[in-house]
Amino acid sequence: MGNKKRYTGAEILIDALQKEGVDTIFGYPGGVLIPLYDALYDCKTMDVVLTRHEQGAAHAADGYARVTGKAGVCMGTSGPGATNLVTGIATAFLDSIPMVAISGQVATPLLGTDAFQEADLVGVTRPITKHNFLVKDIKELPEVIKKAFYIANSGRPGPVLIDLPKDVTTATMTGYSYPETIEMRSYRPNLDGHPGQIKRAATAIKRAKKPLVYAGGGVIISGAQKELIHLAETIDAPVTTTLMGLGGFPGDHNLFVGMPGMHGSKAANYALQNSDLIISVGARFDDRVTGDVSKFAPHAKIIHIDIDPASISKIITVDIPVVGDAQRILAELNKVVQPAKHEEWRAYLHGFKESYLYGYKNKSDVLMPQYVIEEMHRITGGDAFVTTDVGQHQMWAAQYYHFANPRRWITSGGLGTMGFGLPSAMGASFALDRGPVWSISGDGGFQMNLQELATIKINKLPVKIIILNNKYLGMVRQWQDIFFNKRYSSVCLTADCSCDGCGTEQECDTRGSYMPDFIRLSESYDIPARRVTDPGSITEALEWARDTEGPVLLECMVSPEANVFPMVAPGAALDEIIEDEELQDE
């Protein structure tokens, strides 16, 4: 762009997004964003996706970012449009997902006057963004945009908000040029680990008798899967990956012991509790993993490799911290670690996974949700892109779809956002150039953002929607089942207002009146749909979903009483495991 012509703030923003390589924007227009959308009208290099809700736009940008590794871009107008982005921004923040969110704002003379659709988005998003900007002068705009993408994509990734008053988008300036690089004295992420700490880590690994690699989402973000496999195989160490780390290490590798934590495998939890050295890579010791912190890994020294120095010893005291990019540090560590064998240690853990990492009792007369995921894994070859909402179905997908490759597993791990699955699948499909994505939801979560069916249909996205319908808010019901004496308060999605709760499906005479009818709902969006009720039909139905062009919806009527096992109660130690009684009786 030359220096003589005058350009509006909106035109500068669009040009800057193009220079950052943005090819897709998810958003919803409104009064103060009209100048921006007017500038986008003639843009031929970017997909401008009109979602049906700003929350859907934010989750779609998130899904796009998780597949590509690049910052997703979303925008909403001032006031409620911008606040509707907030759940999506917080979801990205908790999972370290790069995102640039653009919120419209009232004109600068109106700031602080409670003007129509004014909301303090800088204040609202301060705790849930890596950084945010309120642009008050068009001259600030180019540098702000450059900084926003640099901050979002570098170090520990995260969302950055640009709050853009209307008069900034309509102001004009000459002499515009977009900076090629940016310098920020107060923000310089450390990428290379300290050589002395890497050497200390190698020495500790050499002395360990029961080493365990505990890998998180940082492995995927940094692209360190190859280096992680090399390290684990060299030192013959079992590997457990967090919910966010699934796919960072192959789920079918003989060293893999499953996911740890509340719904982790017995092998993974016993590994953490009995290890003498935990090598944590890009994981943050979330409370869903550690359980009772005072009883966590009582025999282990801990090496913590993480790009965020604030994560070191934040929850668990660390013996050897190594701050930097996981891929770079593992590459250096692999140069100095000594090959080792730990047959006895691996044999001990293998005893917990001899026949399975997870288990359930399959039935011939009831469709089990675990079986649906297993069949889905089989007919997709185990390499599908999968999104979920949050709840029981999320845990079953994590347990039974054995992810072998990174960036295939797209789920809200940190914030636990219901309604994430469908719009994030939409964004992931755009990232794959309208490629196929499988979206697994429960019947509760699916209803939180189902309006995006329209966006999916209109854009011809091959999103394969699987609803595991147990007619409950299943995970809450499970907690009420185990910890609240089966007092099922406000979790049954079929009971009418006169119902005061129930114990079993057999006692209930209202369960047939489920609302909405997902088949008719889907067909109203011109999306083909089927309902499956018996186990014998699920394979053919999944193959139909896979082979049908474009989006489809498959409603699977699964066992209402199925629970997620194993389970560690909140606040318990990791080896205080609640197991499936049906399996124990066999």
Annotated active-site positions, please? 54, 116-117, 166, 475
Range 525-529 average pLDDT: 98
Give the range among 244-248, 313-317, 488-492, 541-545 with minimum mean pLDDT: 488-492
Domains of the chain: 6-174 (3.40.50.970), 195-355 (3.40.50.1220), 369-564 (3.40.50.970)
Range 126-139 average pLDDT: 98
Mean pLDDT for the chain overall: 95
Q: What's the pLDDT at 130?
A: 98
Q: What is the pLDDT of residues 140-163, one digit of tens each?
A: 999 999 999 999 999 999 999 999
Our measurement of the distance from residue 471's CA atom to the centroid of its chain's CA atoms, rounded to an integer in Å, reads: 24
SS3 521: helix
Q: How far is CA 90 from CA 81, 129, 161, 388, in A?
A: 15, 7, 11, 17
Give the range among 1-5, 14-18, 80-84 with minimum mean pLDDT: 1-5
Contact 248, 406 (CB under 8 A): yes
Q: How confident is the model at residue 495 (pLDDT cuts 50, 70, 90)?
A: low
Task: Tell me how far apart the alpha carbons of residues 188 and 193 are, in angstroms, rounded to a whole number.
Answer: 14
Q: What's the pLDDT at 515?
A: 84
Q: Residue 406 above 60 pLDDT? A: yes
Q: What is the pLDDT of residues 181-191, one digit of tens each?
A: 998 998 999 99
Q: How confident is the model at residue 503 (pLDDT cuts 50, 70, 90)?
A: low
Q: Which residue has the tokens 């389970």?
A: 567
Amino acid symbol at 436: P
Q: Please, is 400 exposed, middle or buried when counting C-beta atoms within 10 Å of its C-beta (0-12, 13-18, 19+)?
A: buried
Amino acid symbol at 350: H
Task: Tell me how far apart the alpha carbons of residues 142 and 149 are, in angstroms, rounded to a whole number.
Answer: 11
Task: Tell me how far apart the alpha carbons of residues 156 and 324 are, in angstroms, rounded to a whole number.
Answer: 10
Range 233-256 average pLDDT: 97
Q: How confident is the model at residue 500 (pLDDT cuts 50, 70, 90)?
A: low
Q: What's the pLDDT at 582?
A: 79
SS3 454: helix
Q: How confident is the model at residue 527 (pLDDT cuts 50, 70, 90)?
A: very high
Task: Tell me how far apart the alpha carbons of residues 111 and 114 are, in angstroms, rounded to a whole number.
Answer: 7
Range 516-534 average pLDDT: 97
Q: What is the pLDDT of residues 256-283, one digit of tens each?
A: 999 999 999 999 999 999 999 999 999 9
pTM for this entry: 0.96
* Rg, the chain, Cα only: 25
